Chains A and B, each alone.
Chain A
Amino acid sequence: MSASASPQILNRVYDFVDILRDANVSISTDEILSLCNALDHTTVDNRRIFKQTLQTTLIKDYTDIPAFEKCFEQFFLSRERDERIEEIQSEALGRRPNGEGLSAAENRLEHELGDSMDSYLDSISEKLLLQKDAQELLALFMEEMEQAGSSGGMGIALFKTRRSMFARDHSEDEVPATDEERELYGRLLEMMRGRSGKRRIGRSIKNHEQYLLNKYIYQLKPHEIKEMREVVKRFGQKLKNRISLRKKRVKHGGIDVKRTFRASLQFGGVPFKIFHKDRKIDRPQLVVLCDVSSSVNQYSRFMLLLTHTLQSLFSKVRTFAFIGNLVEITGLFMEMDPERAINSIFNDTDFTYGWGSNYGRSFDQFMEQHSDSLTKKTTILIIGDARNNNQDPGMNSFIKMKERSRNIYWLNPEKRHLWDWSDSIASLYMKYCTNMKEVNSILDLTEFIDRLFIK
């Protein structure tokens, strides 16, 4: 296991880090350094070891592992994978892939051109990047460079390449392109292909994620729902980090006299040990009530998944699910992962009893059995379409819920113009809510949660 981290390998690895970053995986300089370090100790000949070396040094959040695997597969195991891995391996042995070396001036020129290409690719829209092939992108790049008026070695190189391109498109051209020009063109095209391909991998993974986050939840296909769970967890995690950063941390409160005194008793009343009060951070208490009937089931599932991920941001989270009856599911969430917890609710027969949602009865039951969960610090979050199947709305209980809590927010997955239509009694409840809001996508859900912490 000799030192294998040659500059060429490092370049490949930097490319890979860029791809991961494009795919929304955050990687710090520390981690890149540690990877470079690690490459001195392992070998690139064994794909599993090579992959684990990357993973163990770069990926610190296990929810990023699926994204990492996709990126690795596409970057190292795609069409060009054999070339890439071979290239790395041959470089490890000190061979150069293309035989001849480049002169120092050529090297510098290539470097300069590469930088310009990078900044060009950074500047263009995602759509352009994903739709155009390398040849088209190169043409666009050259146009741009010409307009910017490049001079010196770079100007000449671009001019020559343009002639070669032009000659290719109009075969009966007056000035035939020279071999040198053709070669230059080939090399630029290669550079563009590498760069744009690299960017596409990361972006397309990220785009897919964005697409899922923005998609109407009721339109998600079954296989997307599965993927979505991962995305929600990941996104929730990021949201959590962001919110925790935003919160000011107060290290200690004052001295906890009671505790200090109590502890001093065993030492004859001498306060050897001073206890401080726990630091106070404003963590809201949350009560979540989810309608899990089939019309809004998927929304509730994602919301539960999200609040579960964010649990530590709240001082207390209590979770209830209802259709015809209401049950507390806080405990379930403590013993198993949220997806399972939700599934197990549906195996419970008293719970599914009756036809359709009964908001009124559920609110009554909440006030009768669980009103202890409400304090003036509690934020109540209700998810449902307020379709009460023409039953008693339980207004008395709902008004009490409002009076005994700080806020009631209602997230309604239904389009606004359908509120109050048929058996929906949205406005009736809305009067007593701090806010009733239409939510369509995961992004809506997370934005809402995010805002809870801004005040």
Chain B
Amino acid sequence: MFTSIDDVVEALAKEKYISSEEIATTVYLALKMEKPVLVEGPAGVGKTELGKCIASALDIDLIRLQCYEGLDEAKALYEWEYAKQLLYTQILKDKLSAMLENEKTLSQAVARLTTQEDVFFSEHFLLARPILRAITGSAQSVLLIDEIDKSDSEFEAFLLEVLSDFQVTIPEIGTVTAAHKPFVILTSNNAREMSDALKRRCLHLYIDYPTRKLEERIVSLKVPECGQKLTHDIVKAVHKIRELQLKKEPSISETLDWAKALVVLGYDVMEHDIAVSTLNCLLKYEKDIELAKKHSKSIFIE
């Protein structure tokens, strides 16, 4: 457990995650208050990475649930292994026949069989999915529910139930309550607005593109071969480029790609022509590259 906000900053830095004081405050509070965090912001600002690094900083398991359209309880919580159940009934056919031999009517046979159904609906045949695993774990874990905005609102309603008491009822087995409440992190790229009820339950963290200072630190940490001067130039240029009217702004991962490319090419300062010829590391659309080229003088030369 983190002992202070500063401690969060340091522990995350050890995992190579540079966090602002704001990020650290929310993380610290969420852990202390045992509340989930909803992290929003544009793609590539380190939302998923934050979840992973918290788990490794606390040295606990990371259980990740990637959301998508159509994700349902069967894929998130648990599922009966129908095929296995079926297979077992096949294998045990003789046993079952023997057991039912003395029953005269169909309804008696069913009644007899029902007394045994526990066998088939037991943990042996239960396929635990991320949420159930997080609840039944023998120690606290980080449950990272990634890109929740891609799921449907029905799933969100289901999630809300789970988050309110961390217990799950499996009709055939009973109610399972978490012995160790997982630390829940939800991320969203704002493709869809989350319900008020869900937001009320969570602390909220909005991560925007980092300040220049912060981004420079991220680059030096992740691409240490990139010297101080080059790092400075790269980040400065990226920040100017983000101000253009682009189809897609470069995110932190693109900044890192660019830095790596320039290092591999053997540069230690940024020059106009090199920068222009490597813009495709940073920008994904042809139109955006053209636009950046149009403004290249003001971006790369003061």
Contacts and interface: CB of A to CB of B under 8 A. Distances in A.
Q: Do A and B bind each other?
A: yes
A53 B83 CA distance: 50
A270 B83 CA distance: 11
Contacts of A60: 38, 196, 199-200, 202, 204
A372 interface: no
B180 interface: no
Contacts of B245: 339-340, 343-344
A261 to B, nearest CB: 15
Interface majority SS on A: helix, strand, loop or mixed? helix
Contacts of B29: 38, 41-42, 53, 56-57
A52 B26 contact: yes
B28 A59 contact: no
B121 to A, nearest CB: 12
Contacts of A42: 5, 25, 28-29
Interface of B: 4-5, 21-22, 25-26, 28-29, 32-33, 35, 38, 40, 80, 82-83, 86, 190, 192-193, 196, 199-206, 245-248, 287
Interface string A236-275: 0100110000000000000000000000001110101100
Instruction: Please list the 4 inter-chain residue pairs (A to B) with the smallest Cβ-Cβ separation, ordered nearest first.
Output: A60-B199, A52-B25, A52-B22, A56-B26
Nearest to A46: B21
Contact of A272 (B21, B25, B82): B82
A41 B248 contact: no
B128 to A, nearest CB: 18
Interface stretch (A26-34, A172-180, A188-196, A319-327): A26-34
A368 interface: no
Contacts of A268: 86
Contacts of A49: 5, 21, 25
A30 B198 CA distance: 12
Contacts of B196: 60, 241
Contact of B33 (A41, A55, A273): A41
Given A56-B25, A267-B82, A336-B247, A347 B287 contact: yes
A319 B96 CA distance: 62
Given A34-B33, A38-B33, A52-B22, A312 B247 contact: no
Contacts, number: 88
Nearest to A344: B247
Contact of B25 (A53, A240, A241): A53
Nearest to B290: A347
Contacts of B4: 1
A48 B21 contact: yes
A41 B22 CA distance: 14
A375 interface: no
A340 B200 contact: no
B266 to A, nearest CB: 35
Interface string A198-209: 000000000000
A242 B40 CA distance: 22
B22 A57 contact: no
Interface centre among B26, B80, B204, B246 (most CB of A within 10 A): B204
Interface string A41-68: 1100010110011011101111001000
A268 B86 CA distance: 9
Given A34-B203, A42-B25, A53-B25, A267 B246 contact: no
A37 interface: yes
A30 B200 contact: yes
Contacts of B206: 62, 65
Contacts of A273: 82
A237 B193 CA distance: 8
A392 interface: no
Given A52-B25, A52-B26, A266-B83, 4 more contacts: A28-B200, A31-B200, A42-B29, A240-B193
